[in-house]
């Protein structure tokens, strides 16, 4: 079975080098591509973290992947198996520069590899439904790409949880019914809240990236966290919408091989094709041309 990793990071930063080692990996482009191939991961979507070039229109430029070298938006220079979501610095946005920021993002969305827009709720003290984001939502609708939110727990105790709570997505999903929204990490640990928001909004999807961290043996780890995994499965089975849940890792935070093993046990086998591949192609509609 071919796999799409719908949420990872491709970011050259010291902190990630250490995190990658703890997960039994290495934060380099070569390591990622080799490991992805070994595990049948044919495409990965990087959530942009690195700052890009200076603005052309006076807006805030998107954050991008740069693990394979400084990013060049016109001549894509990251591996062909890596697409990306342009990251939003919500905190630097104002009502005054919101339209100009959308114009900066447009330049990136016009290229094939930019397949979505990522908003870092909680790390940025701005709600999903804040009007500063609206020009970006209209842009997402125009380009038929999803808006991806960080939801749930915040790494290292940074940020404010009230902005990253999954219930905050309900309102924006109804305000922009033609835009697809993805809640990353399934709102972990507010899993039920996230699943309920996805269940009651046709345009909201979930990715199961970064639910755990580090290097682990599939069996031992699964046994230890059995209750946690059966809780997720209980609610996913309850809403029975396996067309809405996507595989993702949050690499380099996890070990690719063990994460696939764990997720194969969490998601019932008859839904693996949708979970590991099909749903991502539908939600990230621009992927079709890259596959
Ligand atoms: Zn992430």
Per-residue pLDDT, 170: 98
Helices and strands of the chain, counted as H and E runs: 12, 10
Number of domain units in the chain: 1
Query: Consecutive sets of 10 residues in the chain, 291 residues long: mean pLDDT of each?
Result: 98 92 93 97 98 91 96 92 98 97 97 98 97 98 98 91 98 98 98 97 97 75 88 95 97 92 95 98 98 95
Per-residue pLDDT, 71: 94
167: CA distance to ligand 1 center in Å?
A: 19
Dist. CA 80–CA 22, nearest whole Å = 27
Report the run of H or E that residue 101 belongs to, with start and end: helix 98-109
Q: Which domain holds residue 267?
A: 3-289
| Ion ligand 1: residue ranges with CB closer than 5 A | 250
β-strand pairing of 181-184 with 114-119: unpaired
Nearest to 39 by CA among 79, 84, 80, 3: 3
pTM above 0.85, yes or no: yes
Per-residue pLDDT, 80: 96
30: CA distance to ligand 1 center in Å?
A: 20
Nearest to 209 by CA among 227, 182, 228, 233: 182
Residue for token pair 């749903």: 279
Per-residue pLDDT, 155: 86
248: CA distance to ligand 1 center in Å?
A: 9
185: CA distance to ligand 1 center in Å?
A: 8
CATH number at residue 229: 3.20.20.140
């Amino acid at each position: 079975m071919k796999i799409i990793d719908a949420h990872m990071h491709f970011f050259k930063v010291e902190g990630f080098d250490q995190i990658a080692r703890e997960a039994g990996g290495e934060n380099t482009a070569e390591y990622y591509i080799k490991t992805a191939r070994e595990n049948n991961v044919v495409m990965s979507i990087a959530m942009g973290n690195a700052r890009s070039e200076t603005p052309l229109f006076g807006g805030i430029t998107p954050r991008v992947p740069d693990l394979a070298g400084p990013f060049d938006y016109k001549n894509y220079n990251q591996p062909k198996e890596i697409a990306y979501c342009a990251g939003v610095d919500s905190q630097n946005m104002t009502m005054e520069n919101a339209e100009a920021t959308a114009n900066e993002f447009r330049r990136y969305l016009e290229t094939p590899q930019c397949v979505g827009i990522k908003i870092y709720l909680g790390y940025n003290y701005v709600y999903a439904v804040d009007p500063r984001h609206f020009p970006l939502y209209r842009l997402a609708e125009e380009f038929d790409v999803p808006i991806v939110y960080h939801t749930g727990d915040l790494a290292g105790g940074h940020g404010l949880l009230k902005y990253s709570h999954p219930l905050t997505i309900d309102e924006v999903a109804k305000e922009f019914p033609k835009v697809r929204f993805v809640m990353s990490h399934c709102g972990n640990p507010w899993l039920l809240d996230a699943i309920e928001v996805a269940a009651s909004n046709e345009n909201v999807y979930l990715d199961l990236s970064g639910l755990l961290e580090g290097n682990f043996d599939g069996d031992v780890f699964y046994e230890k966290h059995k209750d946690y995994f059966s809780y997720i499965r209980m609610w996913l089975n309850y809403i029975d919408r396996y067309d809405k849940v996507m595989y993702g890792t949050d690499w380099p935070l996890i070990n690719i091989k063990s994460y696939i093993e764990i997720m194969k046990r969490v998601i019932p086998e008859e839904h693996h094709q949708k979970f590991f591949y099909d749903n991502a192609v539908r939600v990230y509609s621009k992927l079709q041309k890259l596959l």
